[in-house]
Structure 1
Amino acid sequence: MPPLSLKKRADVARLILEGRSYDEVFKLSDVSKGSVVNIAKELREGRFKGLEDVANYFDELRELAVKLRKAGLTVKDATKGLEVYFKLQSLGVGLDGLERLIKLARGLESGDYKIEEIVPAAVELLKLEEKLGKKLFDALREAEEETSKLERIKEERTKAEAEFSKIKDELSSKQEALKKLIDTDERLRKLGLDKVSALSEFLDGCVKLGFNAEEAKRIARLGMEKDSLEREVKKLKSERIGLQSDINRLKNELSKITRVKRILFTGGITLPCKFCNSHSVYIKIESIEESMRTGMPLACMCMTCGRWPSYSVWEIAWYLTQFILPAIRKI
């Protein structure tokens, strides 16, 4: 296939830059699709002679051309629009104020807005701008920004309050859980950690043996009753030992009282022999009284060894106190 002429290539490039699809360019230029694609590639890469600068704005130009064609406008119309835009910019009117300007123009044309009303309003506007130290539109824009900030602050505050409420609920829940843990810890300490460990091992053993919860409770209850009975038996044994001690003490006291009783009935006392240590020296009360009255020692025969031990008044008095005083204290 012979190469395309410069004119044909220029026509294809124009159609491409007008935002036409490759199929449209193919139909309008009677050029193969491959050639259309190659020319578009040359334009995008800056290799098309005479249109090298197009490479920097290739996609933007095609997009702009598509929008103009859809709006039914030409490049001249776009140029005029730019001129109007620049003039508005020089007057301090941006695109956001264009609608208001159009509304004002239409109002003046229709008579809805009157010059005699607009002029005083404009004067008041100038005074207000002088007082504010800025253009009214700037002040309004700043007010809108501040309002937007205030709305954001309100939203953030609402979120913060919701988060605070959530944290408060979580804290309350954790405090309740902590209280339960502390109560459990105190109960465990009172029960004894070794007992808790033993209980845990016991329950594990019951589960391994196939017992259910109720059976484990019943077994544990039996074990507790057994422990209680063992403690009761130990308590009774301790009480028995105490009672036996009381019995022995009472027997000893009874023995002393019996000796006093014997003194009263026999009219004498039996003293230990100084020679054989047996309680076989019998002395009558009358002899004791005589010895105490005269201060003379008293000698009596031992019924076991037959010897005559002698006892001073003080020795006799001491023996008497050993017999009589314990009985007197109990009485």
Structure 2
Amino acid sequence: MNPPPPRKTELSGPATGNEAFQLLSDETRLAILQALWEADDPVDETPIRFADLRERVGVDDPGRLNYHLNQLADNFVRRTEEGYELMDSGKRIVRMLLSGTAIDDPEIEPVAVDISCWYCGGQPEWSYREGWRYLECTNCEARCVESFPPGVISKSEFPPSGLRDRTPNEINEADRIWGAHRRALVMDGVCPECAGEMPVTSVSVCDDHQPDWEEYQFCENCGSIFWMLVSHVCERCKYQWRMPTLFYPSRHPAVVAFFYDHGIEFDLATYEQRAQLLDFEEELLSEDPLRIRISVPLEDDRLWLTYDERMEPVDVTR
């Protein structure tokens, strides 16, 4: 007799999502969170006294401050015998504000960076606008996705706070690491926004895939240069991510070992090795059940990985 499936944990908290938004809609409460954040010392976490907090926030009426503290208590602020301190949820709110995602809208004009276009080997330029970073090739008009302007070889979200006190090349490197870890989380089924469950919701296979590989132009039938695309959607916050199936072998230890045996420390997070994806070959073995085989060639050697509808590997052959 099979055991029953494990029950998913159901969490209940002091405030729902709507209530949390309402709690943070007051300027005094936001000022309290900021004051507690500024008073926080990660090395010496000592709560701040009521009188000190009142002075930092600039509230003359003690009753008014106490009222707002009561509204924040159990959700964002912890009251102790020594005073008040931010809960982790409160710290996340302040970090979001400090990251600039809620207040800043900076722009950086295109500037050359020390990498090569993985399509043509030309010189890309890095730019930033409307919360997105862009890599645009100055040598080709590659358009791997229909929604990208010509020449944009990569586009992704990046917090404005990551721009501060960095050169363009340092920003580009931070962006590379940021994106690689977020992509790895998605492939592992964990939402990079809220840590909720983020399963594969669909695997799209173009029925008549005809991209122009010579000019690196997307297929007009599916809107992508890639034949097969995987979609993940977070069950908690609805965050979505879509990427080619070709990324998934990079997470398998057999692939890392395969390249290592040939003297290559393989890491698709690096721009230099991103071009390796273009050498991977896909094969649709069956549609029901879905089975996709990806071939990884290297010199005179080859590695095959077969995936199911959840993009879980079911077979590895060398």
> TM-score category by the smaller chain?
under 0.3
Higher radius of gyration, 1 or 2: 1
Structure with the higher fraction of residues in helix conformation? 1
Q: TM-score, normalised by structure 1?
A: 0.22
TM-score normalized by the length of structure 2: 0.23
Q: Determine which structure has the larger strand proportion and give its number.
A: 2
